[in-house]
Amino acid sequence: MSETTINESVPLPGARAGRDPQRAIKRGPSRVPPEVVAATQRDRLFDGLVHTVAAKGYANARVSDICQAAGVTRPAFYALFDGKDEAFLLTYRHGTGVLLKLMEQAYGDARTTGDWRRATRAALRVLLDVLAGVPAFATMAIVEIEAVGPAARAERNALLRRFDQFFAEAPGPALPGELVGAIVGGIYATIYRYVASGRVTELPDLLPVVSYFTMVPFLGREEAARELVTPPPEGPPATAPCTFSQ
């Protein structure tokens, strides 16, 4: 599996249609390098996989369905992936990498002008807003990953451990890793419950509760409770790059 360089302008899988006309590869003589063609097909397949898995469920999503949604041939699919499992894992790894980079950017920007509390709230807001803005990715990455198997569960566990970075600057004495893991797991479980029940667009409403839950072990109940009455963030919600109307 190849690594992908991520920055804040890289689209989140599922934020575009697989058959996006702007990524069409014209027939006939072309000077487009083969690696550019392969990268374009891979990105279209990422989007096609997200939308197909979200609509049909992982178990019912066929490679032919993914290819049709992406406008890519089966031979091209198998030139890029060993099969459906690997395609899912690469899509998941790429998409969660994009999401984490967006969160890190929000955290870093807020940290330059505020404390850990403000920065953490900013990162959580991005997490909830972006997932709500791309429901297909939320469904694929949060719910349907359960159907993929042990490799996917290992990938998810590795992702959840990466969230530890947001607690490195938390006030007070360092907490045991198991407790930080429990906080992250609790946030994930809450998001899962909303996505699985078809309430993905309501995720941003969870910001006060999720912020309180995240901060109470570090700030105490009274101080963390301020999150429950903090006015909603000003400005438009955070969005994934290239998000289109669902």
Tokens of 53: 């898995």
pLDDT band at 93 (very low <50, low <70, confident <90, very high): very high
Could you report the per-residue pLDDT of 45-86, keeping only the tens digit for each?
999 999 999 999 999 999 999 999 999 999 999 999 999 999
CA 70 to chain centre: 20
| pLDDT of residue 96 exceeding 60 | yes
Model confidence pLDDT, tens digit, residues 17-44: 888 777 666 665 567 677 888 888 999 9
Query: Each residue of 153-203: pLDDT tens digit?
Result: 999 999 999 999 999 999 988 888 899 999 999 999 999 999 999 999 999
Residue 97 pLDDT grade (very low, low, confident, very high; cuts 50, 70, 90): very high
pLDDT confidence of residue 245: 37
The Cβ-side half-sphere exposure at 25, using a 13 Å CA radius, reads 22
Instruction: Give the confidence band of 1 by pLDDT, cuts at 50, 70, 90.
Output: very low
R_g (Cα) of the chain, nearest Å? 19
Helix, strand, or coil (residue 204): helix
Question: What fold, for 21-83?
Answer: Arc Repressor Mutant, subunit A (1.10.10)
How high is the pLDDT of residue 148?
96
Q: What is the mean pLDDT of the chain?
A: 88
SS3 94: helix
Measured distance CA(148)–CA(4) in Å, rounded:
22
Which residues lie below 8 Å from residue 98, measured CB to CB, with a gap of 6+?
6, 10, 11, 12, 13, 240, 241
First to last CA, the chain: 30
Is residue 5 very low, low, confident or very high in pLDDT (cuts 50, 70, 90)? very low
